[in-house]
Amino acid sequence: MSSIARLLSILELFSENKPFLSAEEVASELDCSAPTAYRYVRELVESGLLVRFSGGDYGLGPRIIELDYQLRISDPLLTSGQPIMRELSEQTGFDVVMSRWYGSGVVDTHRETRDASLHLRYGRGRPRPLFRGGAPKAILSTFPKARLAALFDQYADEIAESGLGTTFAEFRTALMKIRRDGFYLSKGELEPDVSALATPLFVVDVEEAIGALALIVPTSRLEFANIERLVESTKDAAARITHRTRAALEA
């Protein structure tokens, strides 16, 4: 790993459970000397990516907020998708969430809210479980066999707990059904009494999704909803987002 990669990997050490780190902790995590760790965090402080507190610990800096703003106004999927998500939310009366697959995880990137009383545990930027909920399963259903096999080797226990199967054959079969259907309806997998109807989002590679679009529905309202119409509307919105995003990238 290059020195630049090691330096940037420090940002990955921060989490919801570990919002502050000392230089000594950084040295231990990176298995490097204390002087090297101090040099790394000093460079990150100078760039605004970290900030030093009076007690000597470090936390994420204001440059992170600036980068998030830049991402929100420049990401073609977001800029193309927000108006369509707003339209879908108004049409159905439900919240709409866009999620993205980044590296080896899923995060929500935007939410159109219709029900202010609906408090979701996962919001923009907070990593979600890989195998629970509508969005991850909709995305995973498009992955090629080799990629799914690698994930199964690494996360077999989590996959079994999610109900996707205890063997790779069962895992792949479950995802192939979701792919054929073109959507997945989760019920209470992430939040009690909350369901999500998710469909994959494609941009460049039509075979492998980079994200998902999901309607967030209180489970108690499902029995009164026209599921087929909701599925059709969500798929149509996802297709329109894909078309607009591709057009924006080609312009």
State which residues form the domain around 194.
75-250
* 190 in any annotated domain: yes
Low-confidence ranges of the chain (pLDDT < 50): none
- How many domains does one find in the chain? 2
pLDDT at residue 205 in the model: 65
pLDDT at residue 1 in the model: 59
pLDDT at residue 138 in the model: 97
Q: Are residues 46 and 83 in the same domain?
A: no
Q: How big is the CA angle at 85 (ends 79 and 90), to the nearest 5 degrees?
A: 140
Q: How far apart are CA 137 and CA 212, in angstroms?
A: 9
* 70 in any annotated domain: no
> How would you write 143-188 as a 3-class SS string?
CCHHHHHHHHHHHHHHHHHCCCCCCHHHHHHHHHHHHHHCCEEEEC
CATH of the domain at 13: 1.10.10.10
Full-model pTM: 0.86
Q: Which of 46, 65, 84 is the last residue of a domain?
A: 65
* 48 in any annotated domain: yes
pLDDT at residue 250 in the model: 84
Q: Are residues 133 and 61 in the same domain?
A: no
Q: Are residues 22 and 83 in the same domain?
A: no
pLDDT at residue 54 in the model: 83
